[in-house]
């Protein structure tokens, strides 16, 4: 199925796409920042859990 566009509709599509694109890039940037912050928290949580496990094993051995 081919859609033939005249110049006006092609320009309208192009302009609407370019007006939407910055929103999409900002949104994806926002999501990646959120994910990196969550990953940072997750990493800290894993470190704390490891410290607790080590302390518990040391307390059990003594």
pTM: 0.42
Query: What are 5-20's pLDDT values in tens digits?
Result: 566 666 666 666 666 6
* Residue 5 near residue 13 (C-beta atoms within 8 A): yes
- When pLDDT is cut at 50, 70 and 90, the band that residue 1 belongs to is very low
**Residue 8 falls inside a structural domain:** no
**Residue 49 falls inside a structural domain:** yes
As a whole number of angstroms, the distance between CA 38 and CA 40 comes to 5
Q: What is the pLDDT of residue 29?
A: 76
- Give the residue numbers spanning the domain of 44: 23-61
Query: What are 25-58's pLDDT values in tens digits?
Result: 677 777 777 877 887 888 889 999 999 999 999 9
Residues with Cβ < 8 Å from 13, sequence gap 6 or more?
5
User: What is the CA 23 to chain-centroid distance, rounded?
Assistant: 15
Number of structural domains (the chain) is 1
């Amino acid at each position: 199925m081919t859609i033939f566009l005249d110049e006006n509709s092609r320009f309208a599509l192009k302009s609407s796409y370019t007006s939407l694109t910055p929103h999409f890039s900002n949104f994806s940037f926002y999501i990646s920042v959120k994910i990196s912050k969550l990953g940072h928290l997750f990493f800290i949580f894993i470190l704390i859990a490891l410290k607790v496990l080590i302390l518990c094993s040391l307390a059990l051995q003594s």
